[in-house]
Amino acid sequence: MFATLSDRLATTFKNIRGKGRLTDADIDATAREIRIALLEADVALPVVREFVARVKERARGEEVSQALNPAQQIIKIVNDELITILGGETRRLRYAKTGPTVIMLAGLQGAGKTTLAAKLALWLKEQGKAPLLVAADLQRPNAVNQLQVNGERVNVPVFAPQPGNGVGDPVAVAREAVEEAKRKLHDVVIVDTAGRLGIDEELMKQAADIKAAVNPDEVLFVVDAMIGQDAVNTAQAFLDGVGYDGVVLTKLDGDARGGAALSIVQITGKPVMFASNGEKMTDFDLFHPDRMAGRILD
Ligand code: GDP
């Protein structure tokens, strides 16, 4: 991800490298190049506009620094602004003060939710937590089984519906799971919910009902970064229909252009909290805006 954007920005900066001083025309030309680079990377237009306006404004107003040449100053500005659009600080999980922390996952089918649930469980285990995975995706026949397989891979128990225990009713399963977590002293409950291929009202309502029933400490919207501009539309639809606290970007290892990652925070106002970048259970970490910006400008 971001290979094209990285290359284009590198070329842009090369064009101003040898200059002792940047004229307004140089700044305008550079801003234009940055604009094209971002648009080609599939970054949403309003985000691009604001980004470029800020870079221009700062480049014109910047104090002449002794330590940095003009090209370095622009690179620093772009780096700062990338960190800003990616959300600034790393947003960490909020744990419940008492009782188990409940984390609910929502998103479209195929976004990588089930995989992510297990990755998150493994990551939490490494933080010293005792997570419980909950199979509240009862829509897809194979979803419960898939979560069980993933749970086994990371050695985390899975709470799944059983006869007399919420079969066919994801809200009851989620509610029961929280009770089970209390009984068995799990301190984090990760609720995997149903996804559909497209956004639909029933899906939204079910997710909203689960949310109302278990009152999660964190609702995470899981989205495939490879789906480009659609990611932003889906993110907005889930924000309106279900509501969430943070975003998880999956498939960042893909070769898509990365615009989703660069637009979603600004468009939704919600931070990206985690990033998933591969099929291995360990291909997962907190999302660090500064590191991501660094990688783009590497
Ligand atoms: P769900 O329908 O949202 O539960 O999605 P799944 O967890 O079943 O994932 C859908 C597909 O994407 C599976 O084949 C996963 O192996 C794959 N996948 C999930 N996360 C990643 C990732 O970060 N990178 C890559 N390359 N593939 C992923």
User: Which residues, in sequence order, are CB contacts of 210 under 8 Å at separation 6+?
Assistant: 104, 136, 170, 171, 174, 191, 193
CA of 226 to the centre of ligand 1 (A): 11
Give pLDDT, residue 34: 97
Q: Is 8 annotated as a binding residue?
A: no
Q: Is 250 annotated as a binding residue?
A: yes
What is this structure's pTM?
A: 0.93
Nearest atom in ligand 1 to 250's CA: 23
Give pLDDT, residue 255: 78
Strands 218-224 and 272-276: unpaired
Q: Is 252 annotated as a binding residue?
A: yes
Find, among 126, 123, 107, the residue nearest to 280 by Cα.
123
Quick one: DSSP state of residue 156?
Answer: -
Res. 195: pLDDT tops 90: no
Residue 162 or residue 108, greater confidence: 108
Give pLDDT, residue 237: 92
Which stretches of 62-159 are DSSP H helices? 70-85, 113-126, 143-154
How many residues belong to the chain? 298
Give pLDDT, residue 8: 94
d(CA 257, CA 262): 10
Give pLDDT, residue 261: 86
Per-residue pLDDT, averaged over 48-77, amounts to 85
Model confidence pLDDT, tens digit, residues 232-287: 999 999 999 999 999 999 999 987 788 888 999 999 999 999 999 999 999 999 99
Res. 202: pLDDT tops 90: no
Give pLDDT, residue 167: 65
139 ligand 1 Cβ < 6 A: no
For the chain, percent of residues with pLDDT exceeding 90: 74
Give pLDDT, residue 162: 72
Mean pLDDT of the chain: 91
Residue 283: Cβ within 10 Å count: 16
Give pLDDT, residue 165: 53
Give pLDDT, residue 58: 92
Res. 168: pLDDT tops 90: no
Q: Read off the pLDDT band of 22 (50, 70, 90).
A: confident
Q: Which of 274, 279, 287 to mutate to test the pocket of ligand 1 (most atoms within 8 A of CB)?
A: 279
Burial class from Cβ neighbours inside 10 Å (0-12, 13-18, 19+) for residue 230 reads: middle
d(CA 58, CA 81): 10
CA of 64 to the centre of ligand 1 (A): 48
CA of 65 to the centre of ligand 1 (A): 46
> What strands, in cross-sheet order, belong to the sheet with 188-193?
158-159, 131-136, 188-193, 101-106, 218-224, 246-250, 272-276, 284-286
Per-residue pLDDT, averaged over 96-112, amounts to 94
Find, among 69, 89, 74, the residue nearest to 20 by Cα.
69
Q: Read off the pLDDT band of 71 (50, 70, 90).
A: confident
CA of 111 to the centre of ligand 1 (A): 6
Q: Read off the pLDDT band of 164 (50, 70, 90).
A: low
113 ligand 1 Cβ < 6 A: yes
CA of 21 to the centre of ligand 1 (A): 48
CB distance 88 to 273 below 8 Å: no
Q: Is 119 annotated as a binding residue?
A: no
Nearest atom in ligand 1 to 140's CA: 2
279 ligand 1 Cβ < 6 A: yes
CA of 105 to the centre of ligand 1 (A): 14
Give pLDDT, residue 229: 82
Give pLDDT, residue 139: 80
Residue 86 CA: distances (Å) to CA of 127, 160, 168, 182, 271: 25, 36, 39, 36, 8
Nearest atom in ligand 1 to 146's CA: 8
Nearest atom in ligand 1 to 110's CA: 2
Give pLDDT, residue 63: 61
Q: Read off the pLDDT band of 126 (50, 70, 90).
A: very high
Res. 104: pLDDT tops 90: yes
